[in-house]
């Protein structure tokens, strides 16, 4: 990575504004998945142990520039304190005099979590005044919020114009793993793309077609490809305005020698519900009144074989409606194949990470990204604004 990191700076006695992504799922005020908090611990520990005065900032949810009581960060600072094994002070605001005084009282090694930065309308607008107010709190800016690095906001981008700006360990690790894989992939290189819509994966498919040996397509978006091949897809998910594009992708794959594979059998149903009747049919035998919900056993086996023979696997998006147990088997079979593969496997966050966790296989995967949208943008070959804003290495 050509950006400076916290390894490159002296932090003792300095006030460090560290942007993290503590956007964790909450149910009735309880955190249901604390992975994002755990992922930021190495950076926070390092800063604290090296004598920095650590000022943490994060968004939580999408409060749209207003104070939303349920989206206060208090449950997060409590959990962080347990995980860190040291007190974490919780500010009731993110900028202003009271916070400035709280920061002034911080001693070396102490940690303060600011209130949700999205309570301020200026955050998502990348407002220069708000960036200035954040910058006034600190001597150094650290960005460890990989999950929010695709956002050009005041606390992820604007603030970096006013302070020395470096990457944290999580940011560094996310960028180097996915970045190195995409720049200099071990081969065979296989990408598995699932999820609901072609629309959301256009950039990813375009970019990956330049790089991969195998492109395995399943999930909701595969039916638009099957339609483009002239197959009957019944009531399955279809994006009529993307049929030509799907055909174009298949032509490009052929021209570039990429092995683009679609499902060969499908689990179908006549009703979109958790306990609907499920039936497996060949891909050219989808009944008119039924819809595809999952990849069938033959497809699972074929995909698993290719994954087993790969040196690098990138997976984004579930291969079926995995929220319904009956239609989760295809996604779980792929999760198992990815976990079993000897090569490097990278999971692009979001639903695929949830599927791997649900299958109990998280420990067996090389890298599970903490950012869904951010990793998708990296896979599209885009530069993330939160990364671009950081200082280059000399
Ligand atoms: N065959 C299908 N029919 C309808 N929905 C599907 C199908 N396969 C997958 N999905 C849905 O796609 C959704 C995830 O899509 P998406 O948000 O694009 O994935 P990700 O978050 O991994 O990027 C899931 O809610 C899943 O139920
Ligand atoms: O959860 C996040 O993104 P993700 O669901 O794409 O992984 C990040 O915290 C960014 O949040 P946002 O999409 O509200 O800007």
The per-residue pLDDT for range 143-184, each reduced to its tens digit, is 999 999 999 999 999 999 999 999 999 999 999 999 989 999
* Residues above pLDDT 90, as percent of the chain: 95
Find out whether 352 is annotated in a ligand binding site.
yes
> Which ligand 1 atom is the nearest neighbour of the CA of 322?
27
349 has a pLDDT exceeding 80: no
Task: Quick: pLDDT tens for 21-68.
Answer: 999 999 999 999 999 999 999 999 999 999 999 999 999 999 999 999
Residue whose CA is closest, atom 15 of ligand 2? Answer: 148
Known binder of ligand: residue 21? yes
Using most ligand atoms within 8 A of CB, pick from 225, 266, 317 the residue to mutate for ligand 1. Answer: 317
* Averaged pLDDT for residues 311-332: 96
Return the bridge partners of 368, or none.
347
**Does position 394 have pLDDT exceeding 90, yes or no?**
no
214-217 vs 312-316, strand pairing mode: unpaired
Best of 119, 125, 148 to mutate for ligand 2, by most ligand atoms within 8 A of CB? 148
| 142 CA from centroid of ligand 1 (Å) | 34
Q: What is the reported pLDDT for 389?
A: 98
Atom of ligand 2 nearest to the CA of 62: 14
In this prediction the ipTM stands at 0.94
Confidence band, pLDDT 50/70/90 cuts, at residue 254: very high
pLDDT exceeds cutoff 90 at 332: yes
State the pLDDT at residue 217: 98
Q: Which residues are catalytic?
A: 36, 197, 350, 373
Query: Which residues sit with their C-beta closer than 6 Å to ligand 1?
Result: 195-197, 200, 219-220, 237, 292-293, 316-318, 320-321, 323, 350-352, 372
Q: Whose CA is nearest to atom 2 of ligand 2?
A: 147
For residue 123, the CA-to-ligand 2 centroid distance in Å is 14
Contact indicator for 366, 128 with CB cutoff of 8 Å: no
Residue 353 CA, closest ligand 1 atom number: 22
* Cα–Cα dist 25/2, whole Å: 32
Task: Tell me the CA–centroid distance for residue 320 and ligand 1, in Å.
Answer: 6
Report pLDDT for 357: 87
Task: Provide mean pLDDT across the span 224-237.
Answer: 98
Query: Looking at residue 72, what is its pLDDT?
Result: 98
367 C-alpha to ligand 2 centroid (Å): 18
Q: Where are the alpha helices (DSSP H) in the chain?
A: 35-49, 74-84, 97-105, 121-124, 128-136, 169-183, 202-209, 222-228, 243-256, 297-308, 329-340, 350-358, 372-379, 385-388
Residue closest by Cα to atom 3 of ligand 1? 220
Quick one: pLDDT at residue 56? 98
Q: Record the pTM.
A: 0.92
Which ligand 1 atom sits closest to the C-alpha of 376? 23
Q: Is 184 annotated as a binding residue?
A: no
- Is position 34 annotated in a ligand binding site? no
Pocket residue to mutate for ligand 1, from 147, 150, 196, most atoms within 8 A of Cβ:
196
Q: Is 349 part of any known ligand binding site? A: yes
Q: Tokens 């040196």 correspond to what residue?
A: 311
**Mean per-residue pLDDT, 283-310:** 98
pLDDT at 311: 97
| Ligand lying nearest the CA atom of residue 320 | 1
Contacts of 197 (CB under 8 A, 6+ apart): 220, 221, 237, 239
Local confidence band at 358 (pLDDT 50, 70, 90 cut-offs): confident
Q: What mean pLDDT is predicted for residues 179-206? A: 95
Average pLDDT for 82-105 = 98
Does the pLDDT value for residue 1 go beyond 80? no
* Mean pLDDT rounded to a whole number for the chain: 96
- Given a cut of 80, is residue 345 above it in pLDDT? yes
Which of these, 37, 12, 10, lies nearest to 23 by C-alpha position?
A: 37
Q: How many CB atoms are closer than 10 A to CB 325? A: 11
């Amino acid at each position: 990575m050509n950006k400076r990191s916290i390894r490159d700076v002296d932090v003792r006695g300095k006030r460090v504004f560290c942007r993290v992504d503590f956007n964790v799922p909450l149910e009735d005020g309880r955190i249901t998945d604390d992975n994002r908090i755990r992922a930021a611990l190495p950076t926070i520990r390092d800063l604290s142990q090296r004598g920095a005065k650590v000022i943490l900032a994060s968004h939580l949810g999408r409060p749209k520039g207003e104070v939303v009581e349920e989206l206060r960060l208090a449950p997060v600072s409590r959990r962080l304190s347990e995980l860190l094994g040291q007190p974490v002070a919780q500010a009731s605001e993110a900028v202003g005099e009271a916070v400035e005084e709280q920061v002034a009282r911080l001693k070396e090694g102490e940690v303060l979590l600011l209130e949700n930065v999205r309570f301020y309308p200026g955050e998502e607008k990348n407002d220069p005044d708000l960036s200035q107010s954040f910058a006034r709190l600190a001597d150094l800016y650290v960005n460890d919020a990989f999950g929010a690095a695709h956002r050009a906001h005041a606390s992820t981008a604007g603030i970096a114009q006013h302070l020395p700006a470096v990457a944290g360990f999580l940011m560094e690790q996310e960028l180097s793993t996915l970045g190195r894989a995409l720049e200099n992939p071990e081969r065979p290189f296989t990408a598995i793309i699932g999820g609901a819509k072609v629309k959301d994966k256009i950039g990813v498919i375009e970019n990956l077609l330049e790089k991969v040996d195998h492109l395995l397509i399943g999930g909701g978006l595969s039916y638009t490809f099957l339609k483009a091949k002239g197959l009957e897809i019944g009531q399955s998910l279809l994006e009529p305005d993307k049929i030509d594009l799907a055909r174009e992708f298949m032509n490009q794959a052929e021209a570039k020698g990429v092995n683009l594979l679609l499902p060969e059998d499908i689990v179908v149903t006549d009703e979109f519900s958790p306990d609907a009747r499920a039936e497996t049919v060949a891909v050219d035998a989808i009944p008119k009144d039924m819809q595809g919900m999952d990849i069938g056993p033959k497809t699972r086996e074929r995909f698993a074989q290719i994954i087993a023979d790969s040196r690098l696997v990138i997976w984004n998006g579930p291969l079926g409606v995995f929220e319904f147990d009956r239609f989760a088997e295809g996604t779980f079979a792929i999760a198992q194949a990815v976990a079993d593969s000897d090569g490097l496997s990278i999971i692009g966050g979001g639903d695929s990470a949830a599927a791997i966790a649900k299958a109990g296989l998280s420990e067996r995967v090389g890298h599970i990204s903490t950012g869904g949208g951010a990793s998708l943008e990296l896979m599209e070959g885009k530069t993330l604004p939160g990364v671009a804003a950081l200082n280059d290495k000399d």
